[in-house]
Amino acid sequence: MANIAHRIKIPSIVLECMESRTENNNAVTHVTTRLWDEEVLKSDVPVLVDFWAEWCGPCRMVGPAVEQVGKIMAGKVKVTKLNVDENQEIAMRYNVQSIPSLLLFKGGKEVGRTIGAAPKERYLQFIENSLKS
């Protein structure tokens, strides 16, 4: 998006709003490569990142479960989504080879990873177990 923004002169404040948009009353934040460090690595709370793509059927199935997790964990865990097609650098940095992949970060470090579609209960259990260790 940044390359297009420079060619068509989108103001940086508008671009930032587009890059870090939220859904469902702030339950889920969309992050980008540009905002990765600020939104994920420097977060004061653990961050669950859903690596997804628009063309991925299982990713679309996971969307509602991730949004529910965001609502349930509000204030305890930040729930985010990262489009792997638009942010390939981050997906490569964390060796994300299958989607949907959900990675949990705490203190700037990956503390857990789960791959594949699952119900919200499984994701909540994944978060709990990952934060215990």
Catalytic residue among 28, 47, 59, 84: 59
What is d(CA 69, CA 82) in angstroms, rounded to the nearest whole number?
A: 16
The three-state secondary structure class of 129 is helix
Residue 56 among the catalytic residues: yes
What is d(CA 119, CA 100) in angstroms, rounded to the nearest whole number?
A: 13
Residue 17 among the catalytic residues: no
- For residue 37 the two structure tokens come to 């460090």
Catalytic residue among 28, 56, 82, 91: 56
Active-site residue list = 56, 59
